[in-house]
Amino acid sequence: MAVPTTPERVIRLVRPTTIDGVGAFSVRVGTRTTYYALHEIRCDIGGRGFAVHRLGLGELYHVRVGGPAECSCECLGFLRYGRCRHVLGLQALLKRGLL
């Protein structure tokens, strides 16, 4: 019996945020790549806030990234499982000092 494996997940900053505060990143899971635009927004309740827009579909998510209790996202994945590619991706970019 084969053990199911989790597909490789890769995040890449496609366009660094510029003076206008808008940047872009991609998330590749297996062979599927999704592109997002991001803009840092004010967050008064802790962590850093981002407006994340999936390109091509018009979905806009407000994502908060910080300590374990300061992470949230409006997407269905986060609402159901308490984690999502948006939070994990932004955490990875922040950890690498890219945002």
What average pLDDT does range 15-42 have in this prediction? 89
In this structure, is residue 30 part of a structural domain?
A: yes
In this structure, is residue 77 part of a structural domain?
A: yes
- Quickly count: other Cβ atoms within 10 Å of residue 9's Cβ: 13
pLDDT category of residue 18 using cuts at 50, 70 and 90: confident
Q: Are strands 9-15 and 22-29 parallel, antiparallel or unpaired?
A: antiparallel
What does the pLDDT read at residue 5? 74
Strand order of the sheet with strand 72-73? 9-15, 22-29, 32-41, 48-54, 60-65, 72-73
What's the structural domain count of the chain?
1
pLDDT category of residue 56 using cuts at 50, 70 and 90: confident
The 8-class DSSP code of residue 28 comes to: E
pTM over 0.75: yes
In this structure, is residue 1 part of a structural domain?
A: no
What does the pLDDT read at residue 59? 84
The pLDDT tens digits of the residues spanning 65-85 come to: 988 788 999 999 899 998 888
Range of the domain at 91: 9-95
In this structure, is residue 2 part of a structural domain?
A: no
In this structure, is residue 19 part of a structural domain?
A: yes
Query: What is the H or E stretch that residue 43 is in?
Result: none
3-class SS of residue 80: helix
Q: Alpha-carbon distance 74 to 14, whole Å?
A: 23
What average pLDDT does range 24-29 have in this prediction? 90
